[in-house]
Amino acid sequence: MKKQFIKVVLSCAIVAGGFTSCKNASSSKNVSRATGWKINAKEGGFQYNSDFKEQETAPGLVFVEGGTFTKGQVQDDVMHDWNNTPTSQHVQSFYMDETEVTNVMYLEYLDYLKSVYPPENPKYAHIYTGALPDTLVWRNRLGFNETMTNNYLRHPAYAEYPVVGVNWIQATQFAEWRTDRVNEVMLEREGYLSEDAKYKVVSGEIEGGFSTEAYLNRPESVYNGQIDSLQGKMKKDSVSNFAKRSSGIILPEYRLPTETEWEYAAQAQIGSREYNNYRGRKKYPWEGDYTRNGQRVGRGDQLANFKQGKGDYGGIAGWSDDGADITAEVKSYKPNDFGLYDMAGNVAEWVADVYRPIVDDEVSDFNYYRGNVYMKTAIGEDGKVNVIRDSIVYDTLPNGKVMAVNLPGEIKMVPVGEEETFLRTNFSSSDNRGYRDGEPGSTRFYDRFNDDEDESNQKKMYNAPVSKVQVDDNGEIVRAYDKSNNRTTLINDEVRVFKGGSWRDRAYWLDPAQRRYLPQYMATDYIGFRCAMSRVGSKSKTKNKTPRGKKAR
């Protein structure tokens, strides 16, 4: 009895101390379990979204619940590349585009850039032109494809076809732009931005756009410093005029999927209970070992758009046909068990990874990804995050294409240094693309065998050509091609993986485990892309779920 009495006295003492109540101190979502203070009080103090349930599915995406799988193939390696040795991997849950990015989606991006950053303005030179797909990829020395060269990107007949002619750099920049546009809409919906803010930017009434990271770090800088006049109802209804990460409104960034994510999503083992499939023996994104439908409805129909044989890109007209000679309209074939379309065939797709022949699962078997370059925000002399205004940086690619590295209004990023890496065990440098693969820094005694000052003559595991492109004082592009006879490979840190078969490929490449690579500045008529987004919070959708070990009432 004494023990019970003491408990009651202590509880009442808490009430006497000024907290809401004994009951609410432990159960109310708006009372801190750490301090007993009120959360989200009108008087001020700690503001937090205590009503947050789970991440909202962003436009165009579907949810992919993570898990374990066998990355790579157990089947025969017909090409003898030996670059997809089976490894067990675990993937966190994420979101992925339902279809490849289409022409009309990419045209929306181009229209925005042309409106907000007019190419005739010298200050914005090359922003729009640098984003244009290479429509000349359709040309063939001994083929008549000029119709696609002139029409494929812009004609409405091809609006819902996957965009091609886009290099890896352009694909990543599209994803960055998409992040900002979607978060702009999210903030508008929640009352942090006025409904006409985004349209004033497009119409030219306001110079300067919206950047998600700039908004989170220096919100007063957004819309070229004019955000005060573009705020929504939350300006007067909220303690804070600006949304923060803790609000739960800002979505994670759109990005290219990692190779591991793409392969896991393509296999879609969620619909299979076959042990062999789990061990990596699922040949295609669908069940079975054949490319034709074996079900009663639609029996014999092709399940993907691919090259069926020499000189056969679609089958015989009228029957035994896959319905396409080049690319096909998205959603022309059934989705896999995750609800993703065309994870085999139609176009191959860029993924985020830098290519290496070996997947180093000894270092990482969780969310494996080669390509990390860790950056941090640059801080100005005033102690604030540095926002780029007019100092747009352009990069001339090895093929001569000039592209903007950043857009006005974005935050300046710099590589992490010793302050972040000192005495860390998980990473020691900003650039980790060449970690443990024979490149500089990954071999203990590398410097003993590379004493030649001329970089082109140094011994390297991946001795790729180095072609230099520069712009002279007259603005002319000067191309210096690599003429060395000592090159042994095309692999370097600017070579990226692409996955999946395309309309130009035979059925062998439809296997999700197959992997190929191409320099990140190059584009083709058979490589497109789709975006992904990380899942924050729970592994699975939490709606209508109860804690493990407890029964639902």
In a domain, 449, yes or no: no
Give the DSSP letter of residue 410.
Answer: P
Contacts of 229 (CB under 8 A, 6+ apart): none
CATH code for the domain of 78 = 3.90.1580.10
Q: Is residue 280 part of a domain?
A: yes
Cα–chain center distance at 551: 38
325-348: b (≥16 Cβ within 10 Å) or e: ebbbbbebbebbebebbbbbbbbb
Single out the residue of 157, 153, 158, 104 nearest to residue 132, CA to CA: 153
% of residues, the chain, pLDDT over 90: 50
Residue 26's CB is within 10 A of a number of other CB atoms, namely 11
The residue behind tokens 């962003």 is: 58
Give the integer Cα–Cα distance in Å for 245 and 103.
32
- The C-alpha atoms of residue 469 and residue 471 are separated, in whole angstroms, by 7
Query: Which residues pair with residue 366 across a beta bridge?
Result: 90
Cα–Cα distance between 341 and 337 in angstroms, integer? 10
Is 127 a member of any domain?
Answer: yes
The CA angle 213-218-220, to the nearest 5 degrees, is 125
Q: Distance between CA 496 and CA 354 in Å, rounded?
A: 5
Asked whether the predicted pLDDT for residue 10 surpasses 60, the reply is no
User: Is the pLDDT score of 523 beyond 80?
Assistant: yes
- Averaging pLDDT over each range in 304-318, 340-354, 397-411, 421-435, which range is the top one? 340-354
Residue-number span of the structural domain to which 533 is assigned: 55-372+495-541
Q: What is the pLDDT of residue 12?
A: 41
Report whether pLDDT(532) > 80: yes
In this predicted structure, which of 41-55, 196-210, 252-266 has the lowest mean pLDDT? 41-55
265, amino acid identity = A
Distances from the Cα of 425 to the Cαs of 420, 429, 439, 441, in angstroms?
A: 11, 11, 20, 16
> Cα separations (Å) of 212 from 131, 218, 221, 250?
20, 10, 11, 8
Q: Which of 324, 35, 60, 265 is nearest to 174 (CA)?
A: 60
- pLDDT, tens digit, 9 for 90 and up, residues 16-33: 444 444 444 445 778 988
What single-letter amino acid sits at 370? R
Find the helix packing angle between 103-116 and 168-189, rounded to 10°. Answer: 80
Number of domains composing the chain: 1
Task: Evaluate the CA torsion angle 497, 500, 502, 508 in order and state its sign.
Answer: positive
Q: What is the pTM of this model?
A: 0.88
Domain presence at residue 353:
yes
Q: Which residue has the tokens 């006005």?
A: 408
105 occurs within a structural domain: yes
- For 259, the enclosing helix (H) or strand (E) is helix 259-267
Query: What share of the chain in percent tops pLDDT 70?
Result: 83
First to last CA, the chain: 33
- Asked if pLDDT for residue 525 goes beyond 60, the answer is yes
The model's pLDDT over 88-141, given as tens digits with 9 standing for 90+, comes to: 999 999 999 999 999 999 999 999 999 999 999 988 989 999 999 999 999 999
Q: Using 50, 70 and 90 to split pLDDT, how confident is the model at 549?
A: low
pLDDT at 316: 81
Interval 396-430: pLDDT, tens: 888 888 899 988 889 999 999 999 999 999 999 99
Q: Measured between alpha carbons, how far is 230 from 188 in angstroms, rounded to an integer?
A: 10
pLDDT tier for residue 142 given thresholds of 50, 70 and 90: very high
Q: CA 173 → CA 11, 128, 169, 309, 376, distances in Å?
A: 56, 12, 6, 36, 18
Residue-wise pLDDT tens digits, 289-301: 777 766 665 655 7
Q: Which of 362, 343, 365 is nearest to 528 (CA)?
A: 343
Question: pLDDT at residue 506 above 80?
Answer: yes
Strand, helix or coil at 386?
coil
Tell me what pLDDT residue 459 has.
53
Ramachandran angles phi, psi of 43, nearest 5°: -75, -15
User: For residue 301, is it within any domain?
Assistant: yes
pLDDT digits (tens, 9 = 90+) for 448-461: 545 555 554 555 66
Does 131 map to a domain? yes
Tell me the three-class secondary structure of 507-535, residue by residue.
HHHHCCCCEEEEECCCCCCCEECCCEEEC
Q: What is the reported pLDDT for 443?
A: 52
Question: Which tokens go with 478?
Answer: 């000067």
Per residue in 60-95, pLDDT (tens digit) is 999 999 999 999 987 777 888 888 889 999 999 999
DSSP 444-463: TTGGGG---SSGGGS--SS-
pLDDT level of residue 281 (50, 70, 90 thresholds): low
**pLDDT score, position 204:** 87
pLDDT digits 0-9 by tens, 214-241 = 999 999 899 988 888 888 877 665 556 8
Average per-residue pLDDT in the chain? 84
Name the residue among 190, 231, 191 with its Cα closest to residue 210.
231
